[in-house]
Structures are given as structure tokens and as C-alpha cells.
Structure 1
Amino acid sequence: MRTNRLLPLAAAAALLLSACGGGESVDTGGGGGGGDDVLIAAVSAEPDQFDPHVTNAYASFQVLENVYDTLVVPSAEDLTMQPSLAESWTTSPDGLSWTFTLRDGVPFHDGSEFDSADVVYSFNRIIDEELTNAYRFATVSDVTAPDPRTVVVTLTEPTPNLLAQIGSFKGMAIVSENAAEEFDLQSEANGTGPFRLESSDANATVLTAFDEHWGGAPSIDGVEFRYITEPTAALTALRNGEIQWTDNVPPQNVADLEGDDEVELGSVTSVEYFYMSMNYAVPPFDNRDVRRAIATAVDREEVTQAARFGAAQPNQTAIPQGSPWYLDYAPFTPDQEAARQLLEQAGVQTPITMGLMVTDESPETVAAAQVIASQLEPIGIDVEIQEEDLATWLDRQSEGEFDAFMLSWIGNIDPADFYENQHLSTGGSNYQGYSNPQVDDLLSRAATEPDQAARKALYDQAAQLVVDDVSYLYLYNPDEVQAWAPGLTGYQVRADAAIDFQNVELP
């Protein structure tokens, strides 16, 4: 359920001012932008790159959401898929062919005109180069362009969630034909979105309005994303008028901030989930009983309170309560004695040392890790918390250089988004090395099942196995909380955490 509340700050003013220097201006960095019609937005991390088909960093997608378009897009209200670059589509009776009719007269930022060749190039680039989201095309056998305004996607088997696969987030963005050859997509962009990428450095990323956007010119001249890692600093900058928007709201202050009319708050139940995962290639975490011992020792209520101060729902599965795909399954009850017995059953010697990799660009993972460390110590597991910058964290994850890690998944809509890429044996983001043939079978069958009730039953079975095996140790679903200056209009907080500034008007 979505709620809109005023973000009340008076009760926490003394805390924030003492934390940020007695109410004096906070140096938020950044250059450029800052004009009357430029939105200054504070985010917690710097983008790692701008290639939508390669990056998997949320900091990058915060920017790319405003730069690129997809064929279809989730609605802000309920995340159902709506037309975007495709204005309509049809499916064949056997479900093996989808035909998309494209919008006419859509320009890219470089002035070239969008057509079906760009879609074919974008999708084939992801497939042929086996890029981050290639798994979303697992059932696609061909992508063709019969004419400039038509794209046909041919499937090997029915794929009822194809729209979510190709449109749920900007990792499936349409780039111009031959963009990877004509642009350095790590640092440049050529999209069809409402803003164009102007510049990016260690202080800020600057976008300028693209007045020729097919959906109409943005209401503002541009956006400057400034990187403010510390949430209290971001909130102070908002109060001081140095920024007009942030999603870096201190969760410890939210409950106490009701009633203040100086800042406006938006909050919505999020489809994001935080989790911990262990490396199956590193003993003793390859032992199921060891993983289950850790899952039994962890008290998610305590972790959630420490990390989010109540602004989240503890959950032992991925999908949040309120979703039609939610599964009420919680097999682990915090019990240190039962956890010790599982370690004995596993035949391992304690103490066990476990490195737990977190990123200092997500402070709540650090707070959660500290609580988990205190919960595991009594059962003989010594946790070494390893704080990394996000780029290093991603590199270590990709190389398998970890005992355990903690972070979150965002932008999930269809149940396949929550489970396939993470838990299929061949999943592109299965960095933990999980492999269960039964899970593979259930997820594969669910992906092609057209009946929603039957599809949910398959995902429920797979989710139970994933939880029981502790492929991921799920922790909680956070509230998506964002704050902005009073009088700013045209913005809506979304459950998928996508940030869309196209219709924003400044006070």
C-alpha cells in the first residue's frame, strides 16, 4: 500500500544538527547544474558505468531510468506493464510469437530516428554477448524486424512474463543500432529518454532535458545527481535548501519525523529485499547444515530493527507481503541451541571464521552485519565484517572472492525476477554457486506456465527449497522512503524504486 506523508524533522533537528555541524551548510560536492530549473538530487553512490546492458548497480539505474526507454514500462501505480517505445502488441494463439508495433517519430538524443533495427540490435547484443540480462531471453529463438515499425519476438516455448522480462527495468533499455561501436557506453549514452547524459565525475552526474522526447519535454531543465553517502548529511542538505530531493533518508529518523512541514516524505511498500548469501565453493559454507545453523541463529527482527528502525518487514522469503506472489513461509525460528546442534551435526570444528562482505555505500548492510556478527558469535562463528566500496564489492562478488556477502535486489516485479537469475544453477547472478536440480526444474516449468495459479504453486515450491537450502538467507523487505522539498510536484514514489523525474516541477 502506498502512503504519502509529510516528513517531520523538528523532533530530530537537534540530532541532525549535532551530527552535521550545528546546522551549518553541508559540503555536498558537485559542480554544474544548480540553476533555478535544475533539480538537485542526492543519491548515496556514484554510478559504476552507464551501459544499461552491462551494469547491475542501482546507482547507475537511478540515472539511466531518466536517459533510456524500454519497449514497455511498469506503471507507477501497480507495476503492471504499459506501452512505452512499443505502443501496442499481440500474441499468437500458441503463445510462441509476440508482435510489437513501435511508436513513430521517436528521436534518439543524437538526432537519429528510432526504429525496429534498434530493438533487434539491443536485444541481440544482450543475447549474443551473453550480457548481464541475457537470461531474460532464455526462451527467445529469434528477434526480427519485418518493417521499421514492427518487431517480432519468436519463442521456443510460451513465456507468459515476456513483458516483465523486457520492460521491468532499464537493464533492458533500447540503445541505438551499433551504439556499442559508435559510443563508449561506459561513460556515454544515446537513449530516447526525457533527459540526456551531459557529464559525470567523482562529484556529480548531470542530465539535461531532452525537449524532443516522444512523451513531451520535461518540466525542468535538468537533473544533477550528487553523491552524499551519509543519510543525515543528505537530510540536512535538503533542509538547508542545497538539494531538492533524496532517497537517502535515515531510517532511524522516519518514525520520529511525523508532523514537520518543512520537508515532504513519500513512502511505499517496496519489492526490494535484503539478504545474505554464502559461498558454496568455500568450506564449511558448502555444508547445508552449516548454512541452516547460521539461518537458525539469525534473529531477523533484531536485524531489521538495527538496520531499518522498523521501516521494513522481516521476511524469510523474497517477495513481500501484499504481493499476489507472496508466500507465507518462515521455517527458521531464532534458536542458538538448535543452531549449535546443527553445527555438531555438520561435523565441523568451531570456532569458524566467516568474512562477511558489505559495502560502505549501503550503511544499513553494515548495521545488519554487526547484529548478525553478535548473533553468530555464541554458536562459535566469528564474523569478520569486510567493508568495501561498491565497485570493489561487485568485483569480489563476480570473482567469487568472499565467504559471505550482503546486499539487496531491487526492481523485482514478476516472481521470475526474484528467483531465476539468482537460484538457477546457470543463473547469471548465482554468485553463491547454488545448484539444486529440483529448483531448476520448478523454475523452468514456472517460467512457461500460462495459468497464474499453477505458476504461483510452482514458484512457491521452488522458494521453499531455496529457503530450506539457504541459497539466500532472506532478511527483510524495506520501505521505499524518499524526501523532497515542499512545493515540488509531479513526482511519485514507486514500489520498484525506479526514479522518474520527467514530470517534476520545482517549487
Structure 2
Amino acid sequence: MGRAWLVAAVALLSLATAKTTVTVGLDADPPNLDPVFSSALVDRQVLNQIYDKLLDIDQDLKIVPMLATSWSVGNNGTVYTFKLRQGVKFHDGTDFDAEAVKFNLDRALTAEGSRRKGELAPVKEVQVVDKYTVRVVLKDAFSPFLYVLTDRAGMMVSPAAAKRYGQDLANNPVGTGPFRFVERKRQDRIVLQRNEGYWKRGYPKIDELIYRPFPDDDVRLANLLSGAVTVITPVAPKDLARVRGDANLNLFAFPSLGFQGVWLNVTRPPFNNKALRQAFAATVDRETIDRVVFLGTATPANGPFPPGSPAYDPSIPIPKRDINLARKKLQETGFASGFSFTLLTTPGPVLTQLAQVYQAMAAEAGIRIQIQQVEFGTLLDRTDKKDYEAALLGWSGRPDPDGNIYDFMRCGGPLNNAGYCNPKVDALLNRARATRVMEVRRSLYSEALRIIHEDVPYVYVYHPQVLIGASKRLSGLPLIPDGILRFVGAELK
């Protein structure tokens, strides 16, 4: 009797102290875990667990407090004053305060190679008012500024860690978030552990968070079906019925904020020739791509703003496929027999099929596409350096429209992979940034888009859905339109 009681007690104690682990299957290995240098959606899935931001967004895309508890705006929209959360510590034990905020914003503005410079370009000065108050002075009114701070530009890294590791902070990330970094094995796993001293008492609920890259859709799904992973993002469109039909799984599907399409490098042949860009763009059939590749889950695009965005303008038509126009453009420039180019993409069945569809469509006009597959980090590096001709690469989207167009289409923008520059477009985008009236901004964006459609540095093709598959044992996972999974309140049954 005594021994049976002891065995039962040990079993109960074991259950009470068992480590709860959530494993997440991603479609790529995150290239960079330093928010200043990160430029990939898949990075953000991990970054949002390690780093808190000054502000966040909720399920209705409203701005909510995070490390900043309140804020005020003055001087005609050029001065922002933030009150900061007190008693917060970075994972290395150092204090979070106004000096840390100034360090982070200054670093994002000045670090060589920073991908945040464009987002924070309107910032003139960051001032420490007192230990828990910081003031940001802008050069001009910048209506998207608070939304900018809900993403990587607002993520706070430990100043001590940044000084210690320098560029190697990406391999030793230190924030204030609900999970702390433990280890990383490239192309295999990233392990995070519960932050026992998290400022939100009683959170997070789970002990360990593991991210694993599965570029192959079938492998990613197999791991979810077997229970080897708890959640996957994304689910391939062909696998939606399989996830819906599994009694142990939930499928979450909702419109994304982003866009997908094809970058055309205007700085080198063949796409330094506008007519050739126009010719290729005219071969693309968006409705067919949605139906054949994405099984009706995508929305054909007329630009970077999805339907539902306050900047979406239905009066801008979705471009229709026009093979005769493509042939006419080729003839006008002495390429009547067509031309060839290399299209960069990453491995995986969906992107391979998509690239092949582009290839078949273009071939009807005599345009020959060679498909080259490279690892995702390599794709980002090559497009950043303009070391490519054309590339399949999109954007996960931002709640404010500026985040979907400004840095992509302005001269010298850090996300302007085409090397495109049109001063008229720059002027329109800068005017849009300076007004808070969305009707005025929408009109300015539409005017800019008509120029961009004519110049074709990028072929906007579709807006994807966010497709997430998860074990029904997982609860407490908010579904935010940015598609980023936030595990601070997640639990395992």
C-alpha cells in the first residue's frame, strides 16, 4: 500500500514538473535573428518571441502597449513621447530603460547594413527625458511611425549584448521577450526557453519553444500529422483538405497583409529595358496562377495593397494577360524572336510549380526562362546585391500601407531589390507619409502605382492567405493578421 502510494505520488510529481515543449515547423531556416539586419518573414516568427517591441498590434490591427505603456504626439505630429514599462530586464540581467530605447533606435539608424534605416528615416533625434521616458523628434510628420514600432524597428535588444557581440548578435540574440535564446543548429533547429523573469507575470505558459525548418511542404505536413511538431506555417494549399480532415488538428486561414510577385532587376540586362519588362509582365495570368497553383486560396493583385487595406484602390485594374501586347513590345525593341533570362527561386513544390507556370506562360510569347533554385538566405543576399535578373520574392505585409511600398519603390530604398528609381514616385510616396488623412494617402498611392505599373520594376501577382495548421492540444494562440505566431499565452492541453 505504502509503495503504491509512493509510485503514484512520483507519477503525479512527474506530470506536474514535466517540461512543456511546443515545436514549430517553418518553411525556411530564419536567416538573421538580429532585428536591425533581418529582412525575412520567417525571421519574424522567432524574433517576436525573443524580443519585445515598444508597441504591438492586436487582432483588429489596433496599436496596443508593450514596452511603451503610453504615448503622446505633439508639435504637428513631429514629436512622440513614450512612457516606458518599469522593472523590465533583458535576458542578460541588464535593465530596460530610456537609455536602452535610445541605443536601439540610434543603432537601427546608423548601423552599417541596417535594414531599418528606411523605416526610421524620418527620425531626427532620440532624447532621454528621464529613466522611463523617451522622446523621439521627427524631421517631418510621418503618419505610419507608431505602426513602424510594432515590428522590427521597435524591437529592443540588450545594449550590453549588442556591444559585446557586434554583428554576431544574430547568433546570440538577447531581448526582453517571453522566451530566451538557448541554441541554434543551422538548417536543423532553434531552441528557446521560458523567460522566468518575464514582466507579464505568469507568462509564458510553456517551457520550451523549438523552431525547425522544413522547406519541403510534404515533410512539413508529415511532421504535423505525426505529432512531431505542434504547429506549422504555412500549410501548402494542396494540403488544406488533409489538415481540415484530421480530427486532431485545427486549420486557421485568413487574408494576409502582404503581396507576392516577381522582382525584375532594372540595373542590368535584360530588364534594364523597360519594354522587355512590360513584355514579360504581359504574359502573366493571375487568375490561372490562383486557380492552378494556389487552388483558389490567393487573391490576384493590382499592387502591393490587398483588398481590405485602407490604401486599396479598386479603380486600378488587375492586369490581364495579353500575349499580343507582349509580342508587340518585343518587336518594338528588336526582340521579335524573344529573349531569355534566369528566374531565381527557392526549393519547394509550390514555388517550383509557380516558377514553371511563369516559364510556360512566358514561352508563348517567345520569352525563355531558366529556373535556378537557391537557398532562401542566398536568394535574399543576391537580390539585395542586385546579383540576379529576376526573382520570386514577396513581402509579408504591414498594417500601415507605407510599409508595403515605400522602401520597395523609392530611390535607394533598402528593400528596393530592382534598383528602381523614379523621382515622381518618390515625391508621391513622401507626400503620402506626411499626411494622416487616408483618403489623401490612397489617392497619392494610386497615382504612384500607375507610374510603377508602367515602369514594371516588380510584377505584383497575388496576395496569399495566412495558412496555419496546429494540434488541437495547443490553445491561447492569437491570430493576428500579420501572420506572426505569438506564443506568450499559448498552452498545451
TM normalised by structure 2 equals: 0.92
The equivalent of 2:25 in structure 1 is: 42
**Structure 2: distance between partners of 1:101 and 1:408:** 35
User: Which of 189, 208, 211 is the aligned partner of 2:196?
Assistant: 211
**Structure 2: distance between partners of 1:411 and 1:295:** 22
1:40-68 Cα shifts (integer Å, max 9, x gaps): 11112112232111121222221111000
Sort the Cα spacing of 1:242 and 1:378 in 2 relative to 1 into closer, same or farther, 3 A. Answer: same
User: Which of 334, 339, 343 is the aligned partner of 1:347?
Assistant: 334
**Structure 1: distance between partners of 2:22 and 2:245:** 25
| 1:259 CA displacement | 4.5
**Structure 1: distance between partners of 2:370 and 2:424:** 34
Indicate if the aligned counterparts of 1:316 and 1:473 stay in contact, CA closer than 8 A: no
Task: Determine if the alignment matches structure 1 residue 374 to structure 2 residue 374.
Answer: no
The equivalent of 2:345 in structure 1 is: 358
> Secondary structure in 1 aligned to 2:464?
strand
1:102-147 Cα shifts (integer Å, max 9, x gaps): 0111111111110001110000011122511111122111001011
| 1:357 CA displacement | 0.5
Indicate if the aligned counterparts of 1:207 and 1:222 stay in contact, CA closer than 8 A: yes
Indicate if the aligned counterparts of 2:123 and 2:138 stay in contact, CA closer than 8 A: yes
**Structure 1: distance between partners of 2:349 and 2:246:** 25
Indicate if the aligned counterparts of 1:354 and 1:383 stay in contact, CA closer than 8 A: yes
| 1:178 CA displacement | 4.1
Sort the Cα spacing of 1:449 and 1:333 in 2 relative to 1 into closer, same or farther, 3 A. Answer: same
Match runs of 1:340-489 below 5 Å: 340-360=327-347, 363-489=349-475
Indicate if the aligned counterparts of 1:284 and 1:348 stay in contact, CA closer than 8 A: no
The equivalent of 1:227 in structure 2 is: 213
The one-letter amino acid paired with 2:61 is: L
Moved more, 317-326 or 117-126: 317-326
> Secondary structure in 2 aligned to 1:308?
coil
**Structure 1: distance between partners of 2:481 and 2:450:** 24
**Structure 2: distance between partners of 1:469 and 1:172:** 33
| 1:363 CA displacement | 4.3
The equivalent of 2:170 in structure 1 is: 186
The one-letter amino acid paired with 2:27 is: S
| 1:36 CA displacement | 4.8
Gaps of 5+ in 2: 1-17
**Structure 2: distance between partners of 1:249 and 1:227:** 13
| 1:283 CA displacement | 2.4
The equivalent of 2:56 in structure 1 is: 73
User: Which of 276, 291, 295 is the aligned partner of 1:290?
Assistant: 276
| 1:355 CA displacement | 0.4
> Secondary structure in 2 aligned to 1:431?
coil
Task: Determine if the alignment matches structure 1 residue 196 to structure 2 residue 188.
Answer: no
**Structure 1: distance between partners of 2:380 and 2:210:** 25
**Structure 1: distance between partners of 2:111 and 2:345:** 29
**Structure 2: distance between partners of 1:385 and 1:224:** 33
Gaps of 5+ in 1: 1-34
Match runs of 1:323-334 below 5 Å: 323-328=309-314, 329-330=316-317, 332-334=319-321
Indicate if the aligned counterparts of 1:306 and 1:367 stay in contact, CA closer than 8 A: no
Indicate if the aligned counterparts of 1:354 and 1:403 stay in contact, CA closer than 8 A: yes
> Secondary structure in 2 aligned to 1:220?
coil
> Secondary structure in 2 aligned to 1:268?
strand
1:428-475 Cα shifts (integer Å, max 9, x gaps): 111211111110100011111122211221112112222222121011
The one-letter amino acid paired with 1:195 is: F
> Secondary structure in 1 aligned to 2:177?
coil
1:352-406 Cα shifts (integer Å, max 9, x gaps): 111001111x543322111010001121110000100112212211221111011
**Structure 2: distance between partners of 1:301 and 1:352:** 25
Moved more, 57-66 or 477-486: 57-66
User: Which of 77, 81, 86 is the aligned partner of 2:68?
Assistant: 86
The equivalent of 1:118 in structure 2 is: 100
The one-letter amino acid paired with 1:274 is: Q
Indicate if the aligned counterparts of 1:317 and 1:330 stay in contact, CA closer than 8 A: no
The equivalent of 1:132 in structure 2 is: 115
**Structure 1: distance between partners of 2:452 and 2:256:** 21
Aligned residues: 470
The one-letter amino acid paired with 1:79 is: L
**Structure 2: distance between partners of 1:128 and 1:393:** 25
Task: Determine if the alignment matches structure 1 residue 271 to structure 2 residue 254.
Answer: no
Task: Determine if the alignment matches structure 1 residue 54 to structure 2 residue 40.
Answer: no
Indicate if the aligned counterparts of 1:70 and 1:85 stay in contact, CA closer than 8 A: yes
Indicate if the aligned counterparts of 1:315 and 1:330 stay in contact, CA closer than 8 A: no
The one-letter amino acid paired with 1:276 is: V
1:58-83 Cα shifts (integer Å, max 9, x gaps): 222211110001111111x1222111
**Structure 2: distance between partners of 1:433 and 1:132:** 16
1:193-236 Cα shifts (integer Å, max 9, x gaps): 00001111031110000021112321100101112222222222
> Secondary structure in 2 aligned to 1:239?
helix
1:258-304 Cα shifts (integer Å, max 9, x gaps): 45422111111111211101111222312222211111111011222
Task: Determine if the alignment matches structure 1 residue 109 to structure 2 residue 95.
Answer: no
| 1:339 CA displacement | 1.2
| 1:307 CA displacement | 3.0
| 1:152 CA displacement | 0.4
Indicate if the aligned counterparts of 1:135 and 1:428 stay in contact, CA closer than 8 A: yes
The one-letter amino acid paired with 1:67 is: I
1:72-97 Cα shifts (integer Å, max 9, x gaps): 1111x122211110000001142221
**Structure 1: distance between partners of 2:322 and 2:466:** 30
> Secondary structure in 2 aligned to 1:65?
helix
CA RMSD of aligned residues (A): 1.6
The equivalent of 1:21 in structure 2 is: none
> Percent of aligned positions with the same letter in both sequences?
31
The equivalent of 2:10 in structure 1 is: none
Moved more, 488-497 or 100-109: 488-497
Sort the Cα spacing of 1:463 and 1:179 in 2 relative to 1 into closer, same or farther, 3 A. Answer: farther
